Amino acid sequence: MEFLDTIRGMKFIDMHAHMVSRTTDDYQAMSDAGVVAVIEPAFWLGQPRTGVDTFRDYFSSLVGWERFRASQFGIRHYCTIGLNSKESNNEALAEQVMEILPLFLYKEGVVGVGEIGFDDQTALEEKYYRAQLDLAKEAGLPVQVHTPHRDKKRGTTRSMDIALEQGLDPKMVIIDHNNEETVREVLDRGFWAAFTIYPFTKMGNERMVEIVKQYGTDRIMVNSACDWGISDPLAVPKTAYLMKVNGISDEDIETVTYYNALKAFGQSGQISLEELEQPVVIDQSQKFKGSTVLRGGQAPRVDKSSVFIR
């Protein structure tokens, strides 16, 4: 790809990437484009879940199989764990999910509680948002907040109000899916402002360039979401490319595509600069509980000295 030559040597953290929805080709393409780490928030799967064991298995995959799968392509995988806003509206199931959340929040590689917040801004969504904010405060973890697609400005303000009411420090709260309508208030109130770059909706690459030009880089970060809908796993490096050709400095680009995510989620104690500076040595001959990313006849890539990220 033409843009790769322009950003070669840069490294990126995609701080909101639903990799369970992506293929191994996506992992390889992200690695080739300089993505060295992803943070995968717990999410709803499109098809509503009907039992707590489906959540248990899903959370287990985020701290297990997906972490292994990323390592097979030289990418470090972290996650945030939470009951998403949409499924908070099934109260009986939500109560069961709340009981198992503490079993996962203290697992290795869990860098926050999320993504939580509002969808339709119902009373049940608020109930479980508040409850999970309390869990985050107790665990000393950052919070990754999903702001609603509908009535976004009111939902964003409400999300921040409630976080403060529950006693959270704004520096521990990442407000995600921002746009031009919300960014000023989020930054003025001391929260982190994350922007999701989608190909056709929400924030686009060009709009993100203008946001950085207008607001600078303090507490601003970029992600791809790259979920099961129309989305682009290379949105972060592509946005970096567009920033560079529009005159934004390499230092500022690295701040919003790497260092700010590291600083925000590093408050968990589960991700650090020292760790990210160590290379991930790939050994595709390894298996995770009997499973491999390879298929019949494929030769595994094995680097000279190999170690599996557990």
Beta-bridge partner residues of 106: none
E strands present in the chain: 12-14, 35-41, 76-81, 110-117, 143-146, 173-176, 192-196, 220-223
Contact 75, 37 (CB under 8 A): yes
Q: At what angle do helices 123-139 and 91-105 cross, to 10 degrees?
A: 10
Mean pLDDT of 263-269: 98
Contact 77, 66 (CB under 8 A): yes
Query: What's the whole-number average pLDDT of the chain?
Result: 93
DSSP letters spanning 22-76: S-HHHHHHHHHTTEEEEEEE----SSPP-SHHHHHHHHHHHHTHHHHHHHTTT-E
CA distances from 4 to 34, 74, 164 (A): 9, 17, 41
pLDDT band at 309 (very low <50, low <70, confident <90, very high): very low
pLDDT digits (tens, 9 = 90+) for 134-145: 999 999 999 999
Strand 173-176, strand 220-223: pairing:
unpaired
- Residue 66 pLDDT exceeds 70: yes
- Residue 254 pLDDT exceeds 50: yes
Alpha carbons 222 and 253: distance in angstroms, whole number:
10
**pLDDT value of position 30:** 97
**pLDDT value of position 1:** 63
Side by side, the strands of the sheet bearing 110-117 are: 12-14, 35-41, 76-81, 110-117, 143-146, 173-176, 192-196, 220-223
SS3 for 111? strand
pLDDT digits (tens, 9 = 90+) for 117-168: 999 999 999 999 999 999 999 999 999 999 998 899 999 999 999 999 999 9
- Residue 248 pLDDT exceeds 70: yes
| Greatest Cα-to-Cα distance within the chain, rounded to the nearest angstrom | 57
Instruction: Supply the pTM of this predicted model.
Output: 0.94
- Residue 41 pLDDT exceeds 70: yes
Question: Residue 215 corresponds to which tokens in the numbers above?
Answer: 């607001």
**pLDDT value of position 261:** 98
In the numeric block, the tokens 């070669």 are attached to 8
**pLDDT value of position 284:** 87
pLDDT digits (tens, 9 = 90+) for 178-232: 999 999 999 999 999 999 998 766 567 889 999 999 999 999 999 999 998 889 9
Question: Residue 106 corresponds to which tokens in the numbers above?
Answer: 């203290």
CA torsion through residues 150, 83, 228, 112, sign: positive
Share of the chain above pLDDT 90, in %: 82
Alpha carbons 36 and 7: distance in angstroms, whole number:
14
**pLDDT value of position 308:** 43
Alpha carbons 62 and 42: distance in angstroms, whole number:
8
**What domains lie within the chain, and their CATH numbers?**
10-268 (3.20.20.140)
Beta-bridge partner residues of 17: 225
**pLDDT value of position 203:** 66
pLDDT digits (tens, 9 = 90+) for 96-107: 999 999 999 999
Alpha carbons 45 and 18: distance in angstroms, whole number:
10
CA atoms within 13 A on the CB side of 143: 33
- Residue 306 pLDDT exceeds 50: no
Beta-bridge partner residues of 283: 302
Mean pLDDT of 17-23: 96
Alpha carbons 81 and 104: distance in angstroms, whole number:
7
Other CB atoms closer than 10 Å to residue 239's CB: what's the count? 29
| Closest by Cα among 86, 101, 93, 6 to 45 | 86
